[in-house]
Amino acid sequence: MTSKISVAASAVQAGDHIYNGTGTNAHPTFAWETVTEAGNVDGLIRLITGDLKGLHGEFWLEPEEQIVVIRYPAGAAAGAR
3-class DSSP assignment, residue 65: coil
pLDDT band at 11 (very low <50, low <70, confident <90, very high): very high
CATH 2.60.220 fits 3-73, yes or no: no
Identity (one letter) of the amino acid at 41? V
Checking DSSP bridges between strand 17-19 and strand 32-41, what pairing results, if any?
A: antiparallel
**Position 73 pLDDT exceeds 60:** yes
pLDDT of residue 3: 79
pLDDT digits (tens, 9 = 90+) for 25-67: 555 556 788 899 999 999 999 999 887 777 778 889 999 999 9
pLDDT exceeds cutoff 50 at 81: no
- Angstrom distance (rounded) from CA 19 to CA 68: 7
- What's the pTM? 0.74
What are the extents of the domains in the chain? Answer: 3-73
